[in-house]
Amino acid sequence: MKRVASLIRKELLQLKRDVRMRAMVLVAPVMQVLVLGYAADMDVRNVPTAVYDQDRSSDSRAVAEAFRASGAFVLAEECSSWSDVDDALLSGRAEIVVAIPPGFSRDLRSRASPQLGLVVDGSRSNTAAVALAYATGIASSFGARLQPTAAPRGPSVDARIRVWYNPELRSRLFMVPGIFALLAMVFTIILTALAVVKEKEAGTLEQLMASPLRRGELVAGKLAPFLLVSTVTLTLALVAVRVFFGIAPRGSLGLLALLSVLFSVSTLGIGLFVSTLARTQQQAMLFSIFFFMFPMMILSGFVFPIENMPAAIRAVTYFMPLRYYLRIVRSLFLKGSGLAVLWPEALALAGLAALYVSVAVARFRKRM
Amino acid sequence: MSGSGDGPAILAEGLVKRFGVFTAVDGVSFEVPPGRIFGLLGANGAGKSTAIRMLCGLLAPDGGRARVAGIDVARDPEGVKSRIGYMSQKFSLYGDLTPRENAEFFSSLYDAGGGGRGDPIARAFERTGLSGGAGRPEGVLTRDLSAGYRQRLALACAILHRPRVLFLDEPTAGVDPVARRRFWDLIYGFAEEGAAVLVTTHYLDEAEYCSEVTLMRDGRIVAAGKPGDLKRACFPGIVLEIECGSTGPALEALRREPWVEEAAVFGSRIHAALAPGFGSDRVSSLLAASGAGEAKIRETDPTLEDAFLKIVSSTGAASLGGAGSGPTGGGAR
Ligand SMILES: Nc1ncnc2c1ncn2[C@@H]1O[C@H](COP(=O)(O)OP(=O)(O)OP(=O)(O)O)[C@@H](O)[C@H]1O
Ligand SMILES: [Mg+2]
């Protein structure tokens, strides 16, 4: 125990002396949260929009006006034929075209569920997706406003309107916890992998291995300092999120801390594992990025929904701690769920933590 | 204190280490009694560090046996580790810690702080000439210190727990002659107190200080013995140092004679080893006849370098000539 304590002390001392490392640990998380948090603001404003009004009724003009009034769209031009529509999109003058079919007003007033065409420039898929969401919201709100008599469907329409009308909150609230989770992952994996490989390069690891230090002590002495560091980092990130975006977890902070520790232990294990494969710091960096961080970022539900992935890839995602931690963090931030809901994720994290640390320890010989 | 009292402090028997198909250490045997300084010599890649790592329990041997401080290394590598001091070839201290922090760290790994009398760090610093004097301010980081100072600090960290066996892998590499001399005085001190010291070096003048030396080549031992014995075995006759006007013709003339066993240029002089029974008068008449000009000739002691150059050139020829004809080299001792 005394040996582990002095390993931790030594590691923290080195971290304290390393100005760049210290900056990375203290400043980077706040910067990341801020930059990515603002970037993750996916609500759209002033999307150039064309209108192809084939109905030319007061109702159709009201639809166009509703788009304009939302603030998300600006009317770029009026089209008078489908080739105009094509031209507007191709030239980039418009990213979205609202096409109002003939007979829109008639259908609307006869409750025959009027149709509204939306043509979206799919090459800007991000804007397109969000703009489409807005537009759908506007369309349905329009319907709801004109059709107060459609009582039975009223509440459900209402609910959708509310969601769509709050897209700014939605995208950031959804993204910020994800960034928080990514931060935790990147820091733990890279710091451990680099710290061990650095000692390999310097030859100090050989000196440690030639001492009576036990393998378990060595591993604990390498993991504990970075668990501590990642705790500090995440706390800073949490404060930054609170201060700058006013976003705080709705769930229990204690539960977030506990599950974050579980997650960190599993990614620290991955970092240690990487360090057993790499001989140089560059290798360690590349291994962690290409074999662990990229796949996890892409496949853990941060970017694409896991449900849409092919079965084989979905099977792989079960071994990614980030998959569970993302769910945990998002639930804690957005819904304020408790352990009653999150226990399967917690259990999975605990299992993966045990798995990765033991694989790393098994590979981490006290031999060269 | 279990059974390390009698027998050799270091015993290697037929040690083998392979890396894939390449054999880095090939049947190496030697022993080092307590109180002796054992020099392991050889060119880059000869297998010296690999042999040391096996003895320290850092590498598992693929064959053979090793006992260090009375403990079988294969069976109890951790037991060995707590009884030895090891200075690895790479300079292996933390550059971003101060000397004292380095010492405190390593001291805690060896539990050196506990039972013993006094402060082990103060003792080790004093022992290696790091305490007092020099006026090193406390806060200086290890990486900013001179190579000579760092090397003594590495030694201090290796002896914190008072090991009876020391492995020093090229401890004097990259250090100035004065610092090297000082370092060897320290090594003598440990041997006098009864520690067994195994040291590797590329400086053959240093090897003269060893009680026994062993020359490795391609993973095998090609020569072993006390420095004096080795030199005598290599040069049964006398060795002359010749200074003359034109070195080239003199060297050629010498090499033509069958009774000149070896002639080589050392700086501006020629070293010539003669067959037993021949003297300097034969040489002076030969040189006079060859027209090499006025020659100053005096008898000199052969250096270990002379001996090893001779051994290496002859074993090189042997291994070229008799490829695969039974065991070679290993029986040199
Ligand atoms: N881990 C390893 N994997 C593969 N080959 C190795 C390994 N360690 C050493 N070798 C090879 O074994 C041979 C002996 O290496 P070793 O370091 O023991 O030599 P050395 O005598 O200490 O040389 P030097 O004087 O340069 O320190 C070299 O050819 C080296 O490349
Ligand atoms: Mg070496």
Q: Are residues A36 and A58 in the same domain?
A: no
Are residues B65 and B14 in contact, defined by beta-carbon separation less than 8 angstroms? yes
Per-residue model confidence as pLDDT tens digits over A151-161: 333 222 222 22
Test A18 with B110 for CB contact under 8 angstroms.
no
Q: Are residues A217 and A295 in the same domain?
A: yes
Task: Please name the residue whose Cα sits nearest to atom 3 of ligand 1.
Answer: B19
Q: Are residues B216 and B245 in the same domain?
A: no
What is the four-CA torsion angle of A130, A136, A139, A140, rounded to 10 degrees? -130
Test B110 with A212 for CB contact under 8 angstroms.
yes
Residue B142 lies in a domain: yes
Calpha distance B37→B305 (Å, rounded): 18
Ranges in chain B, pLDDT < 50: 1-4, 317-333
Greatest mean pLDDT among A76-85, A104-113, B313-322 lies in A76-85
Residue A267: its pLDDT value, please?
A: 95
Q: Is the CB of B89 under 6 A from ligand 1?
A: yes
Per-residue model confidence as pLDDT tens digits over A236-248: 889 988 888 888 8
Instruction: Specify the range with the lowest mean pLDDT, choosing from A3-17, A44-58, A167-181, A295-309.
Output: A167-181
Residue B155 lies in a domain: yes
Q: Is the CB of B201 under 6 A from ligand 1?
A: no
Q: Are residues B128 and B242 in the same domain?
A: no
Q: Are residues B16 and B137 in the same domain?
A: yes
Residue A162 lies in a domain: no
Q: Is the CB of B44 under 6 A from ligand 1?
A: yes
Q: Pick from B83, B89, B109 the residue to mutate for testing the A interface (most A CBs within 10 Å).
A: B109
Closest approach of chain B CAs to the CA of A368, in angstroms? 6
Residue B111 lies in a domain: yes
Looking at the structure of chain A, the number of domains it has is 2
- Give the distance (Å) from ligand 2 centre to CA of residue A189: 33
Residue A91: its pLDDT value, please?
A: 84
Domain that holds residue A81: 47-146
Q: Are residues B245 and B162 in the same domain?
A: no
Per-position DSSP letters for A112-152, written without gaps between them = S----EEEE-TTSHHHHHHHHHHHHHHHHHHHHHH-TT-GG
Per-residue model confidence as pLDDT tens digits over B40-98: 998 899 999 999 999 999 999 999 999 999 999 989 988 999 999 999 988 789 999 99
Examine the pLDDT at A171 and tell me if it is beyond 80.
Answer: no
Which of ligand 1's atoms lies nearest the C-alpha of B47? 18
Residues 6+ apart with CB under 8 A from B253: B286, B287, B289, B290, B292
Per-residue model confidence as pLDDT tens digits over A303-332: 777 878 888 888 999 999 999 999 999 888
Per-residue model confidence as pLDDT tens digits over A183-223: 889 889 998 999 999 999 999 999 999 999 988 899 999 99
Examine the pLDDT at A224 and tell me if it is beyond 60.
Answer: yes
Residue B227: its pLDDT value, please?
A: 84
Residue B324: its pLDDT value, please?
A: 34
Q: ipTM score here?
A: 0.80
B74 part of contact set with chain A, CB < 8 Å = no
For the stretch A345-359, what's the b/e string if a residue is b when 16 or more beta carbons lie within 10 angstroms of its beta carbon? bbebbbebbeebbee
Q: Is the CB of B219 under 6 A from ligand 1?
A: no
Residue B319 lies in a domain: no
Domain that holds residue B282: 236-301
| Cα radius of gyration rounded to whole Å, chain B | 23
Residue A19, CA distances (Å) to A22, A23, A26, A321 in order:
5, 6, 11, 31
* pTM score of the predicted model: 0.76
**What is the CATH number for A108?**
3.40.1710.10
Residue A154 lies in a domain: no
Last residue of a domain, one of B229, B258, B283: B229
Q: Are residues B91 and B164 in the same domain?
A: yes
Residue B320: its pLDDT value, please?
A: 34
Looking at the structure of chain B, the number of domains it has is 2
Q: Are residues B77 and B171 in the same domain?
A: yes
**What is the CATH number for B295?**
3.30.70.100
- Give the distance (Å) from ligand 1 centre to CA of residue B14: 18
Alpha helices in chain B (DSSP H): 48-55, 77-81, 99-109, 120-127, 147-158, 177-192, 204-207, 227-234, 247-256, 280-290, 304-321
Residues 6+ apart with CB under 8 A from B254: B260, B263, B270, B272, B283, B286, B287
Residue B311 lies in a domain: no
A347 or B178, which is more confident? Answer: A347
Residue B325: its pLDDT value, please?
A: 33
Which of ligand 1's atoms lies nearest the C-alpha of B59? 1
Residue A158 lies in a domain: no
Q: Is the CB of B42 under 6 A from ligand 1?
A: yes
B312 or A9, which is more confident? Answer: A9
Residue A334: its pLDDT value, please?
A: 79
Q: Are residues B180 and B276 in the same domain?
A: no
Q: Pick from B17, B71, B92, B98 the residue to mutate for testing the A interface (most A CBs within 10 Å).
A: B92
